[in-house]
């Protein structure tokens, strides 16, 4: 027997069997071939089996490096800067370290928990223990820590504990533009305001596609002027404090483009402190809230009558006695006791006169006009936060009576501003925007809703109201900017009844009235009577002077100059417009 065919006595019986099948001299050649093929199949089957098991385990078990890599990709996304119309930065990204763990690499988990919670006392011990004890390959422990905290933890030298630099959103102007800008969540995703609008208009898709991982994205330019925003907010804060109001809000709009130049709703919040944003008292009252706007709605009622051609500035209405309608009686705050002209309905802010103006047009015409000027449907802008108007389900003559002077229908204040803009800009209804827009772009999307002749008459009435009506104090305080305006005092509904002591006051001003460029709205929620207001809480005693101070402060910032040599409204507006009475 040769040495090659000899079998070692110490060799296990399985190896002896395989050797015999593969190389044995007395074994059939076909059997040898089958044995060799079978052995090869077993070997390859084992290899492929291992590969298959690894593929199945990959998504279930979580590879630490893969998880870490995926997380890093997710946090690498960046947002574009948001700037005001002059280039001032309102929102930007900065890099901030975040703390994570790789639980499988942590050797002593109890020691790790003890050291980490000692370095970061605000960490929840139970939560940290749960995360470092998990079977995951990656787990966040704390997002956005300070550089000093990062250095402290780094010195501890805990295996399986690391840091990633994330994009953190910061807002240099703090609360000033909060209701416009909105804010983001911990993952830098927009959850309110312009930040949310950016995500729903392509930014989120860019992030998912991996095309938004750097800071080279073009800044988003808003229509907001930060200087005007600060001035408006400061004056509103003073008014809120002085009149002990529950809330104060205001906005400034370009009547020719629909751009919102400033918007403030107090109390507001600092988007750098997201917890404040969840306070329900800090909602944006100008887009999210809906209110009965009171006598400012008379502007629309009278425009409807003038535009129909059935009434003119001298048309007379009976205001000798309260208007009885069923069991209701409509009163004026100061009884006039006589027939009054349409112009006097406006300057005396007569509820009786406005009701008779609307009744003369009819219910269907009234509804159709308010729908045409955008008061019946939800207003859509770049801000996701918008409220649906509250409109009567059944609209009869009594509804037309009350709605004529601003009761019985509730709209977002921004919606009312849009309607008033159309009444003074030549008759074009232009959707409001928080982005920069030219007059040409605005006219391309604007829709004419009243005649130019009607718009000229409304401008005359608003200026007349500043000369002899309820807006006189604002005219004095605005110091030569030739304003016009309309006041509104709405009794709030408390326990199902209108309250005489809880009111929502508003003042809508336009300037300059001979060539309108801007509308200013000031609102005070539940202002209190002061000795200097002689116990009154109506708009003329608080919202009007507050509006006058706002105008005096922001008009120079808007590029307007005061004038002191202008004549009365009939000579400046009616004569120049060649309006027929």
DSSP 8-state assignment for residue 134? S
DSSP 8-state assignment for residue 508? E
Dihedral over alpha carbons 212, 218, 219, 222 (to 10 degrees): -110
Tokens of 109: 């988990």
At residue 367, the 3 state secondary structure works out as helix
Q: In this structure, how many other beta carbons lie within 10 angstroms of the beta carbon of residue 561?
A: 9
Q: Which of 249, 265, 295, 490 is catalytic?
A: 295
Tokens of 89: 């930065």
- Rounded Cα–Cα distance for residues 502 and 245 (Å): 10
Tokens of 38: 């079978």
**455 catalytic residue (yes or no):** no
**CA distances in angstroms from 9 to 6, 12, 20, 21, 27, listed in the order given:** 9, 8, 14, 17, 20
CA-based end-to-end distance of the chain: 135
Taking the CA atoms of 252, 415, 512 and 520 in sequence, report the sign of the dihedral they define. negative
Contact 533, 321 (CB under 8 A): no
DSSP 8-state assignment for residue 433? B
- Which distant-in-sequence residues (6+ apart) come within 8 Å of 122 by Cβ? none
- Rounded Cα–Cα distance for residues 261 and 265 (Å): 14
Contact 318, 356 (CB under 8 A): yes
The residues that are catalytic are 295
């Amino acid at each position: 027997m040769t040495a090659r065919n000899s079998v070692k006595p110490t060799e296990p019986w399985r190896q002896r069997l395989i050797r015999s099948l593969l190389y044995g001299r007395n074994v059939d050649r076909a059997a040898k071939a089958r044995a060799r093929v079978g052995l090869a199949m077993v070997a390859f089957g084992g290899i492929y089996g291992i590969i298959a098991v690894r593929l199945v385990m990959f998504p279930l078990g979580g590879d630490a490096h893969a998880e870490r890599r995926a997380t890093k990709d997710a946090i690498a996304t960046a947002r574009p800067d948001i700037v005001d119309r002059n280039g001032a930065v309102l929102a930007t990204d900065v890099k901030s370290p975040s703390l994570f763990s790789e639980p499988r690499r942590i050797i002593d988990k109890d020691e790790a928990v003890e050291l980490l919670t000692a370095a970061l006392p605000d960490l929840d011990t139970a939560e940290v223990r749960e995360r470092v004890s998990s079977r995951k390959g990656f787990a966040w422990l704390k997002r956005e820590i300070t550089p000093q905290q990062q250095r402290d933890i780094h010195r501890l030298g805990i295996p399986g504990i690391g840091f990633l630099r994330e994009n953190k959103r910061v807002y240099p102007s703090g609360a000033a533009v909060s209701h416009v800008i909105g804010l983001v969540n911990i993952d830098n995703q927009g959850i309110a305001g312009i930040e949310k609008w950016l995500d729903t208009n392509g930014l989120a898709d860019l992030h998912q596609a991996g095309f938004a991982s750097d800071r080279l994205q073009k800044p988003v330019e808003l229509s907001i002027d930060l200087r005007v925003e600060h001035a408006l907010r400061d004056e509103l804060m003073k008014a809120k404090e002085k009149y002990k109001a529950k809330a104060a809000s205001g906005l400034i709009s370009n009547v020719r483009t629909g751009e919102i130049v400033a918007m403030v709703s107090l109390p507001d919040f600092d988007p750098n402190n997201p917890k404040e944003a969840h306070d329900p008292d800090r909602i944006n009252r100008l887009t999210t809230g809906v209110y009965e706007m009171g006598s400012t709605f008379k502007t629309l009622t009278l425009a409807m009558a003038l535009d129909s051609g059935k009434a003119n500035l001298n048309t007379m209405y009976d205001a000798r006695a309260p208007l009885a309608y069923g069991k209701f009686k409509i009163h004026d705050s100061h009884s006039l006791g006589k027939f009054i002209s349409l112009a006097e309905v406006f300057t005396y802010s007569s509820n009786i006169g406005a009701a008779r103006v609307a009744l003369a047009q009819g219910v269907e015409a009234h509804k159709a006009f308010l729908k045409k000027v955008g008061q019946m449907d939800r207003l859509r802008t770049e801000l996701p936060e918008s409220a649906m108007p509250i409109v009567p389900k059944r609209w009869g003559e009594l509804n037309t009576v009350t709605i004529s002077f601003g009761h019985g229908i509730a709209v977002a204040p921004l919606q009312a501003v849009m309607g008033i803009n159309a009444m003074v800009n030549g008759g074009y209804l232009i959707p409001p925007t928080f982005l920069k827009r030219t007059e040409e772009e605005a006219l391309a999307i604007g829709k004419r809703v009243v005649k130019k002749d009607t718009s000229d008459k409304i401008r005359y009435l608003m200026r007349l109201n500043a000369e002899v009506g309820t807006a006189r104090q604002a005219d004095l305080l605005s110091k030569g900017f030739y304003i016009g305006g309309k006041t509104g005092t709405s009794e709030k509904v408390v326990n199902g009844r209108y309250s005489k002591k809880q009111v929502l006051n508003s003042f809508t001003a336009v300037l300059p009235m001979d060539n309108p460029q801007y509308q200013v709205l000031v609102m005070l929620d539940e202002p209190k009577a002061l000795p200097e207001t002689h116990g009154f809480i109506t708009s003329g005693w608080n919202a009007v002077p507050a509006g006058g101070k706002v105008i005096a402060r922001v008009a120079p910032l808007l590029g307007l100059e005061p004038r002191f040599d202008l004549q009365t409204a009939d000579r400046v507006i009616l004569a120049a417009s060649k309006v027929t009475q």
